[in-house]
Chains A and B, each alone.
Chain A
C-alpha cells in the first residue's frame, strides 16, 4: 500500500467518523410526544450520561421527606434532633402533650411577631408549601410525641387569666432565683432580667419554658421547679401567669430606663 493510498483511506475514515458524529445529534431533532414524565425513546437507556428522571433537580418545594425538611428548615435554630438548639426544643414530649398540631401549623404559617420564630409560608425565602408543613407537623408528633408518664395537672399551654407581677416576684424568689439569681440577675444559670433577652422572646415562650423547662439544658419543668423549692408543690397555671407578668414588668422597666436614658 503506497503512502497516498493510505492517506486517502485515513481521510475517508475520518470523514465517516465526523459525519456520524454530526448525524447522531441531529437525528434527535424529531418532534417529541408523550406525557410530561415519559421519554419517547428508550434505545439510549444504556448510555450512562442519559439524565434519569429520578436525578432531576427539583425545587425544594418537591421535598416531601419530613426528616429532610426538618434538617433543612428547622434544625438551624431548634437543634439537629429538635433539642439543644438556641430556640425552644420541639423534641419534648411534655411540650407536645400540651401543644396541638393546629397551633404549630399556625406558627409555621405566620411566624411569631413578638418572638424570633420566622414564618415558613411559601411567600418567604426558604418557605414551605402547605403540604410540606402538614407533613412536617405530623411527623414531629410521630417522632417525638406520645409520652406515657406525664405528670398530673399540667398547666395549659395558653394563658387563662392575666397574672400579678407582685405575686410573681414571690414565686420567682422561691422557685427560680436559686439558679437565675435574685431578681433574675443571673447566678449558676444565666440572667433573665436583661433587655437583650426579654425584648426578643414572646410571653408565650416564657410561659412554655416555665411549664416544660428546658430538659436539654437543665432548666426544671413546672413540677420540679415548684416541688424542689420552698413552695413544695408543682407550679400552677396561675403561678406561671404571675411569673410572666413579673417578667413583662421587667421588660417594660428596662425599656423605660432606656428611653429615659442615662
Chain B
C-alpha cells in the first residue's frame, strides 16, 4: 500500500505540473459518432495505422542512422556491415524497408477510403489538403530512402529524376544543381538526399501531421455516409453536434481506439513477418561503371511513373513531365473546393467511384508495363551476348568487322540480335530489310529518337563496316530495303526505285 501510494504521489506531482487530465485526456476521449460501432468503423483504422508505421519508421530509421554512413564511398559498405555483422541489423533494414512499403500502401488506402466516403467534404477540406501534403511527403520519403541505398538501382532512379527536373524551363538546371549538388549525380548528391530524408521531409511531414491531427480532433471524425444525406454547410455542423452530443457519441478511448489498436498490432506483426521472411532489399552493387553485371530496376512504387515516361512519345514527354504533376497535385489539392458539398455516399457518386477504379486500373497496368519494360541497357551485352551464329555464318569479312564494331561500341546494350541483348532500341536482326544504306548511315551518325549520335565516335571505316553489317542483317533471300528517302518530293511508286543498295 505504501508503494502504491508513493507511485500515486509521484504521478500526481507530474500531473499537477503537466495537467494532462485537462489537455490530453479530453483528446483521447473526444466523442465520435455512435454509428462507428457498426462494422463500417473498421474502415476508420487506416489513418492511425499509417501514423504508427511512421513512428516505426522513425524508430528504425534512427537506429539505422547510427551505423549508416551517408557518403558515396562508404554507404555501400555500411549497409553490408548492417546486413552481415550487426546483430539483427539485417532485420532492422528489412523492417524499415517493408514498413515503408506498407506505409505507402496504407496511406493510399486511407486516401481512397476518405475519398469514397466523402469525408473530405465540408468542414474537413483542410484536413484533406494536409493529407495530400502528407501523401507527397510519404512518396518523397520513399524516393529519397531508396536513393540512400546508393546502389545501381537508386543511381538509375536518380538519373531519371534529374533528367525530368532538368527539363523544367528556366529553373530546371538550377533545381538539378540544388538537388544533386552539381549537374550530375555525384559525391555530394548522397549528402543532399540524406538531409532530405532525415531532416527536411520529416520536418514537413511532422508539421503537417500535427495540423492534420489537430483538425481531425477539432472537426471530429466524420460519420459514415448515408444514402441521401447531403452535406450542406448551413446545417452540417449542427447535425454533427447532435451525433456526438452527450449520451449520443462514444468516447474515442477505449472503444473505437481498441479497433485501431488491434489493426495496428496486426499490421505491425505482418510487417515483422514479411521482414523476417523476405529480408532486406539489397544493397545491390555499387553504382560503379566497372560493375558491368548489374541491371538496375527502380523500386516498384515508381515503376508506373517511369513507365509513363518510357512509353510516352518523346515529343510529348516534356509536356507530361511539366504539366502532369501540376494537374495531379492540383486536382488532388483542390478536390474539396470543387466537390465540398452534396452527397457523400459512394452509391450516389458514380463519377467518384469510377475514377477510383480507373486510377487503380491505370496504376496497375502502368506498374505491370514497368515490370516488363526493359528498363535499362544491358550493361554487359557488348562483351557477353554473342552475335548469333546463323548471322555470323552469312557475313563477309567486312561485315564481320562491322559486327565487331557493333559489339565494341556497345550498341548491343540497347539493341538485341535474335532477341538477345538490350531492349531499349529495336531488335536489329532484320534491320537491313527495313532501312536502306543512307537511312542506316543517318541513324548511326546522327542518332535520334533516344539513340545517341555516334558520328564523332566512329571512324569512316568503322561506319562503313557497321552499315555493311546492318545492311546484311535481313532474312536470307530477302532483298535489301528500298526505303524512299524522305523529302525528295517525288510521290508514288516511282521514287521507290531511286534508293537502293
Q: Is the A/B pair a real complex?
A: yes
- Chain A residues near B (Cβ < 8 Å): 3-4, 7-8, 10-11, 13-18, 21-22, 24-30, 32, 34, 36-41, 44, 47-51, 53, 56-61, 63, 71-77, 79-80, 84-87, 116, 118, 122, 125-127, 186, 189-192, 194-197, 199-201, 217, 258
Contact A32 B278 (CB under 8 A): no
Which listed residue, B288, B292, B392, touches A79 by the CB 8 Å rule? B392
Q: How far is the CA of A4 from the CA of B37 in the complex (A)?
A: 12
B500 within 8 Å of A (CB atoms): no
Closest 7 pairs (CB-CB, A-B): A190-B396, A49-B279, A28-B88, A14-B261, A17-B265, A199-B461, A14-B265
Identify whether the interface residues of A are mostly helix, strand, loop, or mixed. Answer: loop
| B401 vs chain A, min Cβ distance (A) | 4
Whether A127 lies near B290 (C-beta < 8 A) is: yes
**Given A25-B91, A44-B91, A196-B468, A76 and B412 contact (CB-CB distance below 8 Å):** yes
Taking the closest CB of chain B, its distance from the CB of A107, in whole angstroms, is: 15
Residue B291 interfacial (CB < 8 Å): yes
Whether the Cβ atoms of B261 and A25 lie closer than 8 Å is no
A14-B262, A21-B271, A199-B459 are contacts. A41–B88 as well, Cβ < 8 Å?
yes
Q: Which residue of B lies closest to A251 (CB)?
A: B461
Inter-chain residue pair count (beta carbon < 8 A):
240
* Residues in A neighbouring B262, C-beta threshold 8 A: 10-11, 13-14
Number of B interface residues at 8 Å Cβ cutoff, please give it: 83
Closest A residue, CB atoms, query B289: A125
Complex interface: chain A residues within 8 A of B284 (CB): 57
Can you report 26 A-B residue pairs in the complex whose CB atoms are below 8 A from each other?
A8-B254, A17-B268, A18-B52, A25-B95, A26-B63, A28-B63, A28-B91, A28-B92, A32-B81, A32-B85, A47-B91, A48-B278, A49-B94, A49-B278, A59-B290, A61-B290, A72-B293, A75-B384, A79-B387, A80-B386, A118-B408, A190-B398, A190-B399, A196-B401, A197-B398, A217-B393
Q: Please tell me which one of the listed residues A21, A29, A59 contacts residue B269 in the complex, with CB atoms under 8 A apart.
A: A21
B80 contacts A56, CB within 8 Å?
yes
Q: Does B59 contact A (CB under 8 A)?
A: yes
Binding site for A on B (CB under 8 A): 52, 56, 59-60, 63, 66, 80-81, 83-92, 94-95, 254-255, 257-259, 261-262, 264-266, 268-269, 271-272, 275-280, 282-286, 288-293, 380-387, 389, 392-393, 395-405, 407-408, 412, 459-462, 464-465, 468
A14 partner, pick from B255, B264, B290, beta carbons under 8 A = B264
Chain A contacts for B402, CB-based, 8 A: 86, 196
Task: Give the distance in Å from the alpha carbon of A218 to the alpha carbon of B125 in the complex.
Answer: 79
A139 CA to B279 CA, complexed, in Å: 38
- A85 with B386: CB separation less than 8 A: yes
Smallest CB gap from B390: residue in A: A84
The answer on a CB contact under 8 Å between B384 and A79 is: no
Give Cα distance in the complex from A212 to B402, angstroms: 22
